[in-house]
Structure formats: C-alpha cells, structure tokens
C-alpha cells in the first residue's frame, strides 16, 4: 500500500520531487517526533520526506498499511462472497457485453471489463476496491497533515476514522460504483487542495482527466466542475493557466456527454444523456402530486393527458400517501420500480411487460423517458410550493439522516437465479452469496448508527463554520487555509443541492462528503478551541 500511495500520488500530480512545502524541521513539534536532522537539511521538506522522515507520520503510514490489510483479510474470512444488488447485475451485464452506454453511468462497467483482462476473481476485485479507497484516504490524510498541521488528538481520530472504519469494508464488498466513485472523489478533492496550496501548470491536465473519469463512474459528480472552477480561480496561477484549467475540464466533460448522447440514440432510439433522469424527475414530482391531485383540476397539456389520467386513477385507487420518508424496498424510487406505479403502467402500454427489471435499458423504457421528464418538469413548475413541501423538504430531512438502504437489506446476500443473474454467475464464477444470518445481522448492527453520525457531522460542520466566523478566523489563517474552508463549504452546498434536487438520498451516495466533512469538522473545532480566548 505504501508503494501504491506513492504511485497514486505521482499519477494525480503529487510529485514529491516537484512540490515542496516549508516545514520547520527544527520546530518543537518536529523535535518531539524525534525527526533525524542531517547536516544538509534545509527548512524545506518534500511531501514524501514529510511522510517518511517524521517518525509519527511514518508510523501512520505503516499503521495504515497494516490495519488495511489485516482488516480486509479478517473481513473476507467472515464474508467470502461479494455483495450484489440490482445495480450490480446491470453493471456486470454491461461489462460482459462491452456496452458503451447503460442505464447507469458506464464508467464502472468499463472498469470491470478492464479488471477482467487480468482476473475475474471477485475476491481480488473486492481487495482492489478497498485498497484503492484506502490509498485515496491516505493521500487525503497526509495532505491534511502537510498543509493544516492538526494536533496529535485530531490526527489520531482522523486516522482511526479513515483506516479502522468498518463502513469502508462493507462498501468495498459491493460490486457497485460506490467505492470507486468515493475513492476517485477523495483524490479529486485532495488535488484541489494542492491546486490551492501549491498549484503547478500540469495539474490542469491531471485534474481534468481525474474529473472526467470520476464523472463517468457516477453522475453525482455533475456539480464537481463548479467546485473545481472555484478552486482554480482562488489558486495562485497565471490567468491563462486558470482559463485553460477551467476550459479543459468542461471540454472533456462536454465531449463525453456528446458521445454518450449519440450512443444512447443508437442503442435506444432516443437521443438523451440519461433515461434514468427523465424517470427520476417524474418520480419526484409524483411524490408531490399524490398529495394535491384531488384538489387540482387545472388543464393538462394534450401530450400529457393520457399519462396524467393514469396517474390520477392510480392515486384514487391506491390511496398512495406519497410519503417520501416511508421506508420501503425502493428507498425513494417507488414510482420508478414499483410494478403497479402509473409510470410503469404507461410504459407497458408501449409494448414491454417483463416484471424482472429487464425493462431497464429497453427501448420502451428509454422511449418514455423524455415524456416523463417533460411531465415531471411541468408538474414541478405548476406547483412549486407543493413540490417544496412534499418532496424537497422531506428529501432534505433524508439528507441529514440518510437511509442505509441496501446496508439494511438481505438482498445483497442473495444471488439472483433469473437471467439477470446469469451474466454475474458466469463473469465471477459464483454459485452462491449466502453467509450465516448472524453475520448479516452483525453488518446491520455495525452500520446502523452511521445515519446519526452523518447528521451530527453535518450539524457540527455548520457550527464549526459559524464559530470560525464569530472568532474572525479568516484574519488568523493564511489565504490558502481560508480558501480551503470556502472550497469545502461550497462542496457541501453543491452536494446538498444535487442530492436534494436530483439524486436519491441514500447513505452510500454520501460516503465521500461524509469523509471530507468529518475531516474538516475536526480541523475547524481544533482551530476554534485554540483561538477561543483571543476573541
């Protein structure tokens, strides 16, 4: 893992021999750590030397490697099989078929296919996913130590959180995009911190490529370029370098979107970026419409009349309360996947009736998506207050206390026997995913407190920002430090906005912001406590 940290650092632009940061190796902190001082030492220390030559940091690195390997070895002894849910089967199916587009972003399927060139072992895949995430965490961890210099207590707590966290073991055991996306996102925000503190021209290329890869893995990265633009603007670089960095990231993403649109048209007959998006907009609007449709007899545009009639009939017959926070197997996507929903019924009228989720990626499924997008958008614009009341606000509550979703379900331990499960069985050579029920219960118990912790971290971060402003922290820190706090605040606002308005709010989608938020909350509270008496 140590070698992996070094290689990954070089890949995303953290070249120790190129990037130096002033470290007073004769300071009391350095002397406390028994740093060996050589005759030719200077007051400058590279990132690599900072990690290896300071004894405490060297211990952190060795500990991170040791704990990561030991924990995963113990974990796989208990949980020998990977976990698969509905999304997993479609990722594997797309990888096996070498598809260029999928209902889900294609990046993870392409990763599976590339990994398959070397091995189809699910054990090696899970190991790779976990170690990749921990390497990303290590780079993030040492970057924070390098630039922000937290005390021993904060450093130790952050180390435990990043390298002794059972969440990352269970997350990595999923054949899903979550671990890859989280690791890439951690690398991405780490690189932005370097761009703010120690920018180099080559970083505009490494950042743009890293952002593109992250976006292809999950479209939750849609707001990342906005955050990155802020970081580039705040960095100390020439104007032409800033403009090139901002332009390159949007150019690469634009090329991917155009490619995706054309391939989607070829595969489904509809030119669109994501058919899922259209279904999602309609799904969200129906959570609002369920509450208000009896009292609303407003004229409906002709192209929506048949669909709207089916929607109203469904609500009248089912008495669906439209409760977003109702706990069911669809976790906020009821109208997208429940076979009795009006969206599903309307799609069946287009000629598809399979009940085993094989309608996803079908032509009827993609064909109705633009109509659903327009219908959902019309409802939202027509009744914005009700939309806020019955969808946005409940979704914001879900963001503060997210559901654990598949981490509470038993389905990840069940291998589908239908034709969706066949590609996964063949790709990984799987015959079963079953383990002892007691171990499933252990997973649920270990994970159960994370929603509460996630909510506490969110509120603690807000308190930390407020405290930082109250004690006038901006006047007591360097500009890069202040800019980093602005960056992380904007990152969290972007994550909140995207999650509440456009994404399903489940905990695994928030793993990245959970990591970053926890780290900067610790840094904020440490800073406030250190300067509280100064006024």
Residue 34 has pLDDT above 50, yes or no: no
The answer as to whether 214 is a domain residue is no
Residue 186 lies in a domain: no
Nearest residue to 177 (alpha-carbon basis) of 276, 80, 259, 111: 111
Q: Could you say which of 400, 427, 457 is where a domain stops? A: 400
The size of the chain, in residues, is 535
pLDDT band, residue 8 (cuts 50/70/90): low
One domain, residues 296 and 390: yes
Domain that holds residue 463: 401-408+448-535
Based on the fold, state whether residues 394 and 463 are members of the same structural domain. Answer: no
H helices within 149-274, ranges in order?
Answer: 152-163, 166-172, 178-197, 203-217, 224-234, 239-268
What mean pLDDT comes out for the span 296-312? 87
User: Quick one: 291 and 369 in the same domain?
Assistant: yes
pLDDT at 267 over 90: no
Domain boundary among 338, 372, 400: 400
CA distance 76 to 510: 24
Distance CA 37, CA 50 (A): 13
376: in domain = yes
Whether 454 is covered by a domain: the verdict is: yes
**Secondary structure of residue 117 in the 3-state scheme:** coil
Q: Is residue 386 part of a domain?
A: yes
Closest CA to 145 of 67, 57, 36: 57
**280 & 370 share domain:** yes
Q: How is 56-82 classified by DSSP, letter by letter?
A: HHHHHHHHHHHHHHHHHHHHHHH--S-
- What pLDDT is recorded for position 123? 97
Same domain, 291 and 389: yes
Cα–Cα dist 491/230, whole Å: 10
Res. 25 pLDDT band, cuts 50 70 90 = very low
Within-domain flag for 202? no
Higher-confidence residue of 275 and 224: namely: 224
Cβ partners under 8 Å of residue 416, min gap 6? 84, 89, 424
Instruction: Give Cα separations from 2 to 6, 131, 159, 319 (angstroms).
Output: 6, 11, 15, 58
In the chain, what percentage of residues exceed pLDDT 70? 88
The helix-helix angle for 152-163 and 122-148 (nearest 10°) equals 170
pTM: 0.89
pLDDT of residue 357: 61
What is the tens place of the pLDDT at every residue in 254-266? Answer: 999 999 889 888 8
Greater model confidence, 533 or 152: 152
pLDDT at 40: 34
- What's the average model confidence in pLDDT over 86-106? 90
Count how many domains the chain has: 2
Q: What angle do CA 445, 451, 455 make, to 5 degrees?
A: 150
User: Among residues 365, 400, 435, which one ends one of the domains?
Assistant: 400
Q: Do 456 and 361 share a structural domain? A: no
Q: Which range is least confidently modeled, 55-64, 317-326, 386-395, 524-533?
A: 317-326
Q: Are residues 282 and 396 in the same domain?
A: yes
| Model pLDDT, residue 355 | 55
- Predicted confidence band at 98 (pLDDT cuts at 50, 70, 90)? very high
Q: What is the DSSP letter of 36?
A: P
In a domain, 337, yes or no: yes
What kind and span of H or E run contains 21? strand 20-22
Any idea which of 152-156, 295-299, 458-462, 514-518 has the lowest mean pLDDT? 295-299
Indicate whether 388 belongs to any domain: yes
**What's residue 327's pLDDT?**
55
């Amino acid at each position: 893992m140590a070698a992996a940290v070094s290689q990954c650092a070089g890949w995303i632009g953290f070249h120790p021999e190129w990037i130096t940061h002033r470290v007073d190796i004769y300071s009391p902190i350095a002397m406390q750590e028994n740093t060996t001082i050589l005759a030719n030492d200077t007051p400058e220390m590279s990132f690599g030397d900072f990690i290896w030559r300071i004894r405490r940091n060297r211990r952190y690195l060795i500990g991170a490697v040791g704990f990561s390997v030991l924990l995963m070895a113990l974990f796989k002894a208990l949980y020998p099989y990977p976990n698969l849910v509905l999304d997993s089967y479609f990722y594997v199916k797309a990888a096996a078929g070498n598809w260029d587009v999928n209902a889900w972003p294609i990046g993870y399927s392409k990763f599976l296919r590339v990994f398959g060139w070397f091995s189809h072992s699910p054990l090696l895949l899970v190991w790779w996913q976990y170690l990749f995430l921990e390497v990303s965490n290590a780079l993030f961890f040492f970057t924070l130590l390098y630039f922000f210099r937290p005390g021993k207590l904060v450093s130790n707590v952050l180390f435990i959180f990043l390298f002794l966290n059972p969440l990352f073991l269970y997350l990595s055991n999923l054949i899903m995009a979550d671990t890859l996306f989280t690791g890439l996102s951690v690398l991405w925000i780490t690189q932005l911190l370097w761009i703010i503190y120690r920018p180099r021209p080559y970083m505009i290329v490494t950042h743009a490529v890293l952002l593109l890869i992250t976006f292809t893995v999950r479209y939750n990265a849609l707001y990342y370029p906005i955050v990155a633009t802020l970081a580039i603007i705040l960095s100390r670089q020439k104007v032409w370098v800033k403009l090139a960095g901002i332009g390159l990231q949007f150019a690469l993403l634009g090329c991917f979107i155009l490619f995706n649109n054309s391939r989607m048209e070829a595969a489904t007959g509809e030119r669109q970026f994501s058919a899922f998006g259209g279904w999602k907009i309609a799904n969200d609007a129906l959570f609002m419409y369920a509450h208000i449709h009896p009292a609303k007899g407003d004229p409906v545009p002709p192209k929506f009349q048949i669909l709207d009639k089916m929607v109203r009939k469904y609500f009248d017959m089912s008495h669906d309360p439209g409760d977003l926070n109702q706990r069911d197997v669809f976790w906020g996507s009821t109208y997208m996947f429940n076979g009795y929903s009006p969206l599903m019924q309307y799609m069946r009228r287009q000629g598809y009736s399979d009940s085993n989720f094989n309608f996803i990626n079908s032509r009827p499924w993609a064909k109705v998506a633009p109509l659903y997008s327009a219908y959902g958008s019309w409802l939202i614009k027509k009744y914005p207050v009700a939309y806020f009341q019955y969808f946005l606000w409940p979704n914001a509550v879900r963001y503060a206390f997210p559901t654990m979703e598949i981490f509470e379900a038993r389905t990840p331990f069940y291998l589908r026997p239908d034709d969706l499960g066949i590609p996964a069985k063949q790709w990984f050579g799987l015959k079963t995913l079953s383990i002892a029920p007691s171990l499933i219960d252990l997973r649920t118990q270990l994970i159960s407190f994370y929603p509460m912790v996630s909510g506490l971290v969110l509120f603690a971060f807000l308190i930390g920002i407020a405290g930082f402003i109250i004690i006038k922290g901006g006047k007591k820190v360097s500009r890069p430090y202040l800019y980093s706090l602005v960056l992380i605040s904007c990152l969290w606002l972007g994550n909140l906005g995207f999650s509440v308005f456009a994404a399903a709010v489940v905990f695994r989608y928030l793993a990245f912001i959970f990591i970053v938020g926890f780290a900067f909350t610790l840094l904020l509270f440490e800073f406030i406590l250190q300067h509280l008496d100064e006024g």
